Structure 1
Amino acid sequence: MTATRLTASPAAASPTISAHGRGRPCVITRRATFSASHLYRLPELDEAENARRFGRCSLAPGHGHNYELTVAMGGPLDGDGMVLNLSDVKHAIRREVSDPLDFRFLNDVWPEFDLSRPEGRLPTTEALLLAIRERLAPHLPLVALRLHEQTNLWADVLCGPTIDPMEAFLSIRTHFAAAHRLARPELSQSENEAIYGKCARPHGHGHNYLLDVTVRGPIDARTGMVCDLAELQQLVADLVVEPFDHTFLNKDVEHFAGCVPTAENIALHIADLLSAPIAATGARLHKVRLQESPNNAAEVFAETPQLEMLPAALEALAAV
C-alpha cells in the first residue's frame, strides 16, 4: 500500500486550525511508580513526643509504600500533534524521580529531608511531591502533580508562577454503609416516584458510600505536613463515619429528618460538619466527594470560587 500525503490548498487553510492541531492547547498525563520507605521522627523530639505526633510512622526502622505519581503537563500541540514527545517525558521522570527514589530510604535521598539541617523536613506525601515538582519543573511544562502513597491517601500540587510554592492538597478516603429513602413528606407517593423513581419506595435502599475529603494549605517547614494526618482522619471518623455508618439516614441522622438525603445533600452536610473542625487544624477544607455507586457521585467545593485553580489540571489528574 502506498501512503499519500494530502496537502490543503491555501484557500482551504484555516487561520486558527492547522494540520495535526498545531498550536492548540492540550493537557497530557504520564504515570510512574516507585517503591520507597520513610520514617517520621524528628531529632528534637523525645521518644514519647514522636510517638504521640506520628504514631506508628515513628517506629524504627520505618515503613514503605508503592508510590504512584501522575504528572500533568500542558502546552500547544506541535506539528506532529503532540504536546511533548512521550519518550522524552518518560526519560525525564525516570532520571529525575524514579531512579533516585526507587527502593530507597527517603529520609536519606534528597537534602530537603536531611533533618540535621534546620530547613530539613520529614518526607511526607506532601513534602515529597513538592520536592519532585522542583526536580521536574526545569524539564517539563508542569501543570499539576499527584502522588498516591496508598489508595486511601494522596496529595496534589499545582504548578505555575502564581501558585504558592509551599501549598499542597491532601486527600483521604474512607467509607460507610447507610440506607436512605428519597421522598419529600409534603408529596404523595406517586408524586415522589415521579421525581425520585425507585429511590422513593417506602422501605428505602442502601449504599456502600466512598468518601474523599480534600484539604488545602501550606506544608509545615519541619513536619512536611499540611495538617496532622491522624487528627484529620479522626475528625472524619468521629463526625461522619461513626454517626452515619449502618444507619437509615432519614431516621437516624437528625439533619435528614427534614432534608432529602440525596448524594448531593449528604455531601453538602458532610462539608458543613467538617469545615470548622478542619480549619482548627490549620488547613482548609477544599472538597468533599461522595461516591454513592459506581455510576453516581457528588462533589462539593467548600472553597468558592474554586481558587481560580486551572480546573483542567485537576480534572486531568482525577481522570487517571
Structure 2
Amino acid sequence: MKCIINRRAQFFASHRYWLPELSDDENRAKFGTGSRFPGHGHNYVLYVSLAGDIDGCGMVMNLSAVKAAIAEHVTRQLDNTYLNTVWPEFQAALPTTENIAYAIWQRLVPHLPLTAVRLYEHPELWVDYRGNDMQVSLTHKTHFSAAHRLARSDFSEAENYATYGKCARPNGHGHNYHLAVTVTGDMDPRTGMSVDLGALIQAIDDRVTEPLDHTFLNLDIPYFSEVVPTAENIALYIARLLMAPARDLGVTLETIELIESPNNSCTIHCRQLAPELALSEAPEPRFAVH
C-alpha cells in the first residue's frame, strides 16, 4: 500500500543576494535590502516527503535512515554557514529559497524516494519543489482583519438563520483572516528566483490586504453587496484579483488558501479558473479615508 511520509529538519544559515556582473546600484535596485553586505540569516525549516509501500515492519522507510541521510547530505553541510560559498550550486545561482530547495532535492534524490521538498525561509514564506525541472512553487502568507454577515438578500430572516446560523446575526461578526498565496514558475538559472518577490508582495498588499483590512465586507466592498462573503467567496474574490498580477509577473497563480478561524479554512485551485474571471482593478472601498 502506497504511503507518503514526511521528515522535518532545520538549519541556520546566512546569505546575500549579489551578482558580481552587476554594479552596486544595479544589485541594490534588483535585490533591495537582500543585497546588503555582509548578508542576512534565517532559521530554515525543511520538510522532506518520501513515497513508498508500507513494509512488513509498518514503515515506508526506517526514519533513522531518513534522518541520517538528511543530516549527512544537507543539514550538517549547511548549518551555520554562509550559503553563497558552501555549495557550488549557490555560486551558479543565488541561494534563494527556491534554489536552496532545488539543490536539496538534487542532493537527496539519489538516496531517498522523494516526492517533495518544502523549505520555509520563515513562517510567512516557503517553497515547494517536486522534481519538475526548474519549476517551483512559492508561497507568501499574510493576514487581514475584517467583519462580515452571512445572509442572502432574497432570503427571509428565518431562511438566513436556517442556512447560516449565528453568522446571519444582523450586526455581523469579525475574523482575523490568514491568507496564503501560492504561485508557480520557473527558477531563473542565474538569480535563483522564480518571481520578483517584492513585486508579488506589493501586488497582494495593494489589491487584497490593504483594501480589505478593517472593513465590513458587506458594506465597504461593492463586490460583496451582491455576493455573500463566505470564506469560499472571499477566497475566490482574492483569486480573481490576483490572476492578472501573477500573470504579469511571469508566474501562474496556483492556490489561494484562506483561513477564517482554526476550525474553518478553504483553498481555491486557481488553474481551474477561466481567464475571463480575472478582475482587472483593485477594490475601491466605499468608506472615505480622512
> Which residue of the partner structure matches residue 8 of structure 1?
none
Q: What is the CA distance between 1:258 and its match in structure 2?
A: 0.5
Question: Matched residues in 2 for 1:199 and 1:226: separation?
Answer: 40
Match for residue 133 of structure 2? 165
Amino acid at match of 1:91: A
Moved more, 40-49 or 279-288: 40-49
| Match of residue 156 from structure 1 | 128
Q: Does 1:230 align with 2:198?
A: yes
Gaps of 5+ in 2: 274-290
1:244 & 1:52 partners in 2: Cα distance? 30
**Residue 249 of structure 1 aligns to which amino acid in structure 2?**
L
User: How many angstroms apart in 2 are the aligned matches of 1:157 and 1:34?
Assistant: 18
* Alignment length (residue pairs): 273
The residue correspondences of 1:12-23 to structure 2 (distance < 5 A) are: none
Match of 2:288 in 1: none
1:131 matched to 2:108: no
Question: Would you say 1:85 and 2:85 are equivalent positions?
Answer: no
2:6 to 24, 29, 32: 29
What letter corresponds to residue 151 of structure 1 in structure 2?
A: P
Per-residue deviation, residues 244-268 of structure 1 (Å, max 9, x unmatched): 0000001111110100000000000
Q: Which residue of 2 aligns with 1:192?
A: 160
Equivalent position to 1:113, from 80, 87, 90? 90
Q: How far off its partner does 1:304 sit?
A: 2.9
Distance (whole Å) between structure 2 residues aligned to residue 53 and residue 244 of structure 1:
29
Q: What do residues 48-92 of structure 1 show as CA deviations (whole Å, max 9, x unaligned)?
A: 221122111110000000000000001112222211111111110
Long gaps (5+) in structure 1:
1-23, 115-119, 306-320
In 2, distance between residues paired with 1:90 and 1:184?
53
Match of 2:182 among 195, 209, 214: 214
Q: Secondary structure at the match of 1:303?
A: helix
Are residues 1:244 and 2:215 paired? no
Aligned: 1:63 with 2:35: no
CA distance in 2, matches of 1:184, 1:304: 26
Give me the whole-angstrom Cα distance separating, in 1, the residues matched to 2:8 and 2:237. 34
Paired AA for residue 124 in structure 1: T
Distance 1:252 1:48 in 2: 42
> Quick one: which amino acid aligns to residue 206 of structure 1?
G
Q: Deviations over 1:81-128 (max 9, x none)?
A: 2111111111100000000000000000111111xxxxx111000100
- For 2:108, the aligned partner's letter is L
Which residue of 1 is the match for residue 281 of structure 2?
A: none
1:203 aligned to 2:139? no
State the secondary structure of the residue aligned to 1:213. strand
C-alpha distance in 2 between matches for 1:109 and 1:74: 29
1:281 paired residue number: 249
Mapped partners of 2:26, 2:217: distance in 1: 40
Structure-2 residue corresponding to 1:98 = 75
Q: Give, in whole Å, the separation in 1 of the partners of 2:243 and 2:134.
A: 22
| Aligned residue among 243, 256, 264 for 1:296 | 264
Provide the TM-score with structure 2 as the length reference. 0.93
Quote how far apart the aligned CAs of 1:208 are. 0.4
Identity between Structure 1 and Structure 2 (%): 55
41, 59, 62: which one aligns with 2:18: 41
Query: What is the CA–CA distance in structure 1 between the aligned matches of 2:166 and 2:201, rounded to whole Å?
Result: 34
Give per-residue Cα distances to partners, 1:26-58, cap 9 Å, x unaligned.
111100000000000111221222112211111
Cα RMSD for the two superposed structures = 0.9
- 1: CA distance, partners of 2:265 / 2:193: 28
